[in-house]
Amino acid sequence: MKHTIKTILSTFLMLAIVLSVTGCGINEKGISELTSVNDGFFTDVENGIENNDSSNTTSDSSTSGQNDSATPKENSIGGKTWEDVLASMPKSLRGTTITVVNWNPMTEYTGAASAIKEFEKKTGITVEWNTVDYGVYTTRLATMVASNNSPDVVRTRTPNAAWIQSFQSISSANYDFTDAAWDQILMKDYTVNGVTYATSLKNTHVGSVNVMFYNKDLISKYDYENPYMLWKNGKWTLNKFIDMCEEYKKDSGEDYGCTGAFWEAWSELYGIAGPVGYDGTKYYSLLGDSKFLTVTQKIADLYNKDKILAVGRAETFNAGKSLFYAGASVYLRRNNSYFGTLKSSGTFCAVPMPKIDGQDTYYQGRDEYEAYAIARGAENPEAVPYFLRYFLDGENYDLTSFFCNSQNLEVYNWCMSQKNTIWSTYYSNDEDTFGDGKEGLLSLQGNQIKSFIDSNSYMIDTRVNNFNNLLAQLEK
1 within a domain of the structure (yes/no): no
Q: Identify whether residues 147 and 235 lie together within a single domain.
A: no
Q: Identify whether residues 246 and 328 lie together within a single domain.
A: yes
Calculate the CA 455 to chain-centre distance: 34
Give the pLDDT confidence score for residue 254 in this predicted structure: 95
* pLDDT per position as a tens digit, 398-430: 999 999 999 999 999 999 999 999 988 764 433
Give the pLDDT confidence score for residue 436 in this predicted structure: 46
C-beta separation of 135 from 400 below 8 A: no
Q: Identify whether residues 272 and 309 lie together within a single domain.
A: yes
C-beta separation of 21 from 344 below 8 A: yes
Whether the predicted pLDDT of 3 surpasses 90: no
401 within a domain of the structure (yes/no): no
Give the pLDDT confidence score for residue 69 in this predicted structure: 54
Q: How far apart are CA 105 and CA 37, in angstroms?
A: 8
Q: Identify whether residues 241 and 357 lie together within a single domain.
A: yes
C-beta separation of 367 from 327 below 8 A: yes
Own/partner pairs, 220-223, CB within 8 angstroms, 24+ separation: 222/247, 222/248, 222/251, 222/252
Q: Identify whether residues 115 and 166 lie together within a single domain.
A: yes
6 within a domain of the structure (yes/no): no
CA distances from 107 to 46, 231, 354, 473 (A): 14, 31, 31, 36
Confidence of residue 458 (pLDDT cuts 50, 70, 90): confident
* Least confident residue range of 25-34, 109-118, 256-265, 352-361: 25-34
Q: Identify whether residues 435 and 385 lie together within a single domain.
A: no
Tell me the average pLDDT across 60-75.
60
* Least confident residue range of 37-51, 133-147, 190-204, 324-338: 37-51
CATH number, residue 92:
3.40.190.10
Q: Identify whether residues 392 and 444 lie together within a single domain.
A: no
8 within a domain of the structure (yes/no): no
444 within a domain of the structure (yes/no): yes
Q: Identify whether residues 377 and 247 lie together within a single domain.
A: no
Confidence of residue 118 (pLDDT cuts 50, 70, 90): very high
Q: Identify whether residues 199 and 55 lie together within a single domain.
A: yes
Number of structural domains found in the chain: 2
Tell me the average pLDDT across 1-29.
38
194 within a domain of the structure (yes/no): yes
Whether the predicted pLDDT of 457 surpasses 90: no
What residue numbers bound the domain in which 441 lies? 210-367+417-474
Q: Identify whether residues 254 and 392 lie together within a single domain.
A: no
* pLDDT per position as a tens digit, 154-187: 999 888 888 898 999 999 999 999 999 999 999 9
Q: Identify whether residues 311 and 244 lie together within a single domain.
A: yes
Q: How far apart are CA 318 and CA 339, in angstroms?
A: 5
410 within a domain of the structure (yes/no): no
Mean pLDDT of the chain: 83
Q: Identify whether residues 48 and 144 lie together within a single domain.
A: yes
Confidence of residue 64 (pLDDT cuts 50, 70, 90): very low
* pLDDT per position as a tens digit, 198-249: 999 999 999 999 999 999 999 999 999 999 999 999 999 999 999 999 999 9
Tell me the average pLDDT across 459-464.
87
Confidence of residue 434 (pLDDT cuts 50, 70, 90): low
2 within a domain of the structure (yes/no): no
Calculate the CA 36 to chain-centre distance: 21
